[in-house]
Amino acid sequence: MADSIADNLLEVRQRVEQAAAKAGRKSDDCELLVVSKTWPADKVAEVANAGQLSFGENKVQEAEGKVPALPDNLCWHLIGHLQRNKVRKALPLFDVIHSIDSLKLARYTSNIATELKLKPQVYLQVNIAGEESKNGYSVEDLRRDYDDLLGLQGLQIQGLMCIPPAAKTPEDARPWFAALRELRDELEQRGGHTLPGLSMGMSGDYPVAIEEGSTIVRVGSAIFGHRNYH
Ligand SMILES: *Cc1c(COP(=O)(O)O)cnc(C)c1O
């Protein structure tokens, strides 16, 4: 890739704005989260120096090494699966967790957060296509648990997150993004709580996700180039 990381960042920002404009949305309503997993702190610092403040990591252990090596005004999001035995380590590192996918994990995380006097923002991860191999709430289980989730005092529930099935074209992902938005609308209509956030869209499909209502896109390789490992 000939372009610099800073050029890539600029280009992604422009595409976010274009997609928002096309959908008649304000670009402020769609946040860019830069996914820095697998990239060393010095690469992440290049993006931070270009003005990017929020970064996504998928492993607690990797973040433990990286977060302290970078400026402390950055905001860190956990986008990977959260294991119960990592909750206590994860909470002080991450401001936002995108991967809460059971009532049990939510309760436990809420309790530890309260103990640590923290109140993370969370997204409820939904296995929107019902794929067997994927983490995330099934739609039915989320409908069942939703009211209990709202009662947890240690969490600020922002909205829903999904990773749609691998697709050949960005358009293939559109129905899944729309389905997540519709599920969000349905849960909101129960009343009692707004659910403003939709964490959806990655390098291959973020403009489509924005057209379907995404409020935060998680973009890695379009900025850093291809990862050699996951
Ligand atoms: C790796 C990852 C991304 C970013 O993927 P790219 O295709 O590199 O943009 C987004 N979301 C999650 C949950 C990821 O694990």
Successive 10-residue mean pLDDT values, the chain, 230 residues = 82 97 94 98 96 98 97 98 98 98 98 98 98 96 97 98 96 98 96 92 98 98 84
Please give all residues whose beta carbon lies within 6 A of any atom in ligand 1, as ranges: 35, 37, 58, 79-80, 163, 202-204, 218-222
In this predicted structure, what is the pLDDT of residue 192? Answer: 76
Kindly report the CATH number assigned to the domain that includes residue 104. Answer: 3.20.20.10
Quick check: helix, strand or coil at residue 106?
helix
The pLDDT value recorded for residue 228 is 76
Distance from the CA of 153 to the center of ligand 1, in angstroms? 29
Could you tell me the sign of the dihedral formed by the alpha carbons of 167, 180, 78, 12, in that order? positive
Q: Using the 8-state DSSP alphabet, how is residue 153 labeled?
A: T
* Encoded amino acid at 144, one letter: R
19 CB neighbour count, 10 Å cutoff: 22
pLDDT in the model for residue 1: 44
Residue 30 lies in a domain: yes
Question: What residues make up the domain containing 22?
Answer: 5-224
Whole-number pLDDT of residue 68? 97
Model pTM score: 0.96
Pocket test for ligand 1, best of 202, 216, 228, 229 (most atoms within 8 A of CB): 202
Judge whether 229 lies within some domain.
no
Distance CA 43, CA 36 (A): 9
Q: Which of 163, 225, 197, 175 is nearest to 9 (CA)?
A: 225
Nearest CA to ligand 1 atom 12: 79
